[in-house]
Amino acid sequence: MVHQINAEHLSIDKVKEIIDQKQRLKLSDDAKQRILKCRQYLDDKLANGDEVFYGINTGFGSLCNTVISKDDLSQLQENLVKSHACGIGEEVPRNIVKLMMLLKIQGLSYGHSGISLEVVERLINSYNEDIVPVVYQQGSLGASGDLAPLAHMSLMLIGEGEVDVNGKRMRTSDMFNLMQWKPLTLRSKEGLALLNGTQFMSAYGVWSLIQAKKLSKAADKVAAISLEAYDCRLNPFNANVNEIRNQQGQIETAQVFRELLKGSEIIAQAKAHVQDPYSFRCIPQVHGASKDTIAYATEIFEREINAVTDNPTIFPDTDEIISAGNFHGQPLALTLDYMGIALAELGNISERRVYQLISGQRGLPAFLVANPGINSGFMIPQYAAASVVSQNKQLATPASVDSIESSNGQEDHVSMGANAATKLYRIVENLKKILAIELFNGSQAIEFRRPLKSSAVLEEMIADYRKKVPFVKEDKYMHPEIGKSIKFIENL
């Protein structure tokens, strides 16, 4: 299948579809015309005048007042890419790099960047052939664009750096020999168009949103199993009590749980207790607040991936080249931090349910084994969950409240959105582990409610889980079981 890059709204769901279906990319005719028109305008502007434009015929950052001769404009752009490719730390996952490429192509397609059609087509060909540059996680301040990571992404265009080709690591020069490609010569503005932009932050944010939507649904299902295992009451999920709070995510969560628990024998039985702990009773309020955050973040990121975020910005129709700050990542930084907090809280309340399940209350054996004492049972998986939850709390400390001066004071406020993005990625991965441990515990605990059955939906889920992870009768090596549980959560 082929996805056509055009001016139509690109949604998060559409991006997921492009990824899942491994769609190839192609520029629409309109996008080609916009790119060609803008490039021609810029060429004519430089050929017929002596005006000075930041980054086009000047140096960069605090060197913005250094004018560059016309003969050196191409060298200026190549030097920019090379000098800015100073990323450090761990490599960015290749699926995130492919998202960076997709989003950069989208941003360049609007015809306000002065990029040549040849450069955009090379990016598209690389994406389609699964040629993925090696990019590093650290180095961006999330303000002058994601300079370092986007420089690493762009190195392959000029024959530098390393790439993965269908999963095989090689030098770009060797890839060129394999593909019979030649390095591109970047023209005025092109290096800046490639390096300025928020595609590193955006790619991490889009990936995290795709995961967050899936994990939010998984958290509801897993929590419903735990709720049944702890023999909880249904009335905190009634429509009336949630509707009068007037919070959309809460109302939606309560409805989801009513559907998940429909027909359950366990939920229908008489209860000996008047109310349940907050980690069960307040699921609509807590899970619902995270749903609302995900909905807000979706709106912000959909705006961003349908935007032009490099600098300067070119407007051929009004004869303007404007140096501004669309590369500043503040909208993303704040939202990435907000998402991190929301997803950390889904893990936080999940671990509290685990803690209740192993406590030996409500007819459940201590640590969920028939013979506690000689068996430690599920004592230590809760420790593991608590460890990861605490790490998420630390990771959820906002990056966006920080700033640091750079480029001799020219860039005196930065968003730190790149750090927020990579922290969020770790929070998402940690959340999978926490929910997996809750499922491990909840599915164990619910067996002590037999012969009563839960709803058809939850019983089917438990049966599918049991094909991967059996009931634990006595102490065993737990690490592999938790690993299988994580895989199950990822595939829900």
425 is catalytic: no
In three-state form (DSSP H/G/I as H, E/B as E, the rest C), the secondary structure along the chain is CEEEECCCCCCHHHHHHHHHCCCEEEECHHHHHHHHHHHHHHHHHHHCCCCCCCCCCECCHHHCCCECCHHHHHHHHHHHHHHHCCCEEEECCHHHHHHHHHHHHHHHCCCCCCCCHHHHHHHHHHHHCCEEECCEEECCCCCCCCHHHHHHHHHHHHCCCEEEECCEEEEHHHHHHHHCCCCCCCCCCHHHHHHCCCHHHHHHHHHHHHHHHHHHHHHHHHHHHHHHHCCCCCHHHCHHHHHCCCCHHHHHHHHHHHHHCCCCHHHHCCCCCCCCCHHHHCHHHHHHHHHHHHHHHHHHHHHHHCCCCCCCEEEHHHCEEECCCCCCCHHHHHHHHHHHHHHHHHHHHHHHHHHHHCCCCCCCCHHHCCCECCECCCHHHHHHHHHHHHHHHHHCCCCCCCCCCEHHHCECCCCCHHHHHHHHHHHHHHHHHHHHHHHHHHHHHHHHHCCCCCCHHHHHHHHHHHCCCCCCCCCCCCHHHHHHHHHHHHCC
Q: Which of 41, 54, 425, 465 is catalytic?
A: 54
Which residues have CB under 8 Å from 178's CB, separation 6+?
165, 170
- Of residues 196, 152, 91, 154, the one with CA closest to residue 425: 91
Nearest-Å Rg of the Cα atoms of the chain is 26
Residue 170, φ and ψ in degrees, nearest 5 = -155, 165
How many CA atoms lie less than 13 Å away from 307 in the CB half-sphere?
22
Q: Which residues are catalytic?
A: 54
